[in-house]
Amino acid sequence: MKDLPPPPGDLAPNVLHPLCPSRQVLQMLTSRWGALILVALAGRTLRFSQLRRELGDVSERMLAQTLQGLEAHGMVRRVAHDVVPPHVEYSLTLIGDEAAGLVRGLAGWVERRLPDILSVASQR
Amino acid sequence: MKDLPPPPGDLAPNVLHPLCPSRQVLQMLTSRWGALILVALAGRTLRFSQLRRELGDVSERMLAQTLQGLEAHGMVRRVAHDVVPPHVEYSLTLIGDEAAGLVRGLAGWVERRLPDILSVASQR
DNA sequence: GGAAGTACGTACATTTTTGTAAGTATCAAC
DNA sequence: GTTGATACTTACAAAAATGTACGTACTTCC
């Protein structure tokens, strides 16, 4: 089981290349709920429903689906306690934490620059 | 890209708040073509068709639409030379360059970590 | 003369994403 | 005993994103 050559035929991974897998990974990290889940999960562990309330308006379906995608790519860790009323905890993996840091950086920048962005006076 | 909802009735901008405009701005910066356009435009000026070839597979419709959204939010500057065969140049604004830097950071990270991400061995 | 390049706009069609509602098993509170 | 909470899944449906094809007004190249 060795590493597969990431970019099919190409030399290095490049998001500008249509067929490079990096593009899909980037899209999952920046997808509507993907990005917000990373932000919400940064530095803490949350249960499914806590996460749901945290994001405010995700449907259960989307939350579950997005979490599965993030988990499948090693960004999120899922720990299920086999108890009667289900109890499942989600947290970031090491690599997920790295991604979250970058996503948070972007989200934070948007929040700080929001006034300038909304008053499109920031031209030039 | 849709219109932004009412300003934040909350104290500070927060992407985790469903009604905060920052959420839409973040989405536009991280949208499929929005993010890639920022990456492609970082540090240089490109014409419409050059940008199109650069991204590899955007349709003209999506490129034009996404560029308009970015321009409307002051991220991209559009300069049209009124000549016979159209000649339009696109470049980043100051604020657009800031956003592009962060998006590139994320994209670059994905490219570098791709092997680890694809071989989901990066757990823990 | 015919083809291609340029920067789009505009219908229309398809694909992808996201949401809604209901179901599951069990326990606790009212 | 009805309701609510928990963590989902599964059909089905609506909404949003994206693509396709064609038109434009010229000019250059073959």
Domain range annotation of chain B: 21-118
Query: Is B21-118 CATH 3.20.20.100?
Result: no
Q: What percentage of chain A carries pLDDT values higher than 90? A: 80
User: B21-57 pLDDT, tens per residue?
Assistant: 999 999 999 999 999 999 999 999 999 999 999 998 9
- Report how far residue B70's alpha carbon sits from residue B73's, in angstroms, rounded to the nearest whole number: 5
List of residues 6+ apart from B41 with CB closer than 8 A: B51, B76, B90, B91, B92, B96, B100
Helices (H) and strands (E) in chain B, counts: 5, 3
pLDDT tens for each residue of B52-63: 999 989 999 999
Q: Which nucleotides of C are covered by protein (CB under 7 A)?
A: 5-11, 17-22, 25-27
The answer to whether B104 faces chain A, any CB pair under 8 Å, is no
Interface residue A11 vs chain B (CB under 8 A): no
Class at the top of the CATH hierarchy for domain A24-113:
mainly alpha
Distance from residue A36's CA to nucleotide D15's C1', rounded to whole Å? 21
Residue A109 dihedral angles phi and psi, to the nearest 5°: -60, -45
Nearest to B58 by CA among B24, B85, B29, B35: B35
Task: Give me B34's structure tokens.
Answer: 């929005």
- Mean pLDDT in residue range B89-113: 97
Q: Which residues in chain A belong to E strands, given as ranges?
A: 46-47, 76-81, 87-92
Cβ atoms B111, A24 nearer than 8 A: no
Question: Measured between beta carbons, which residues in chain A are less than 8 angstroms from residue B26?
Answer: 35, 106-107, 110
* Cα A110 from chain centre: 17
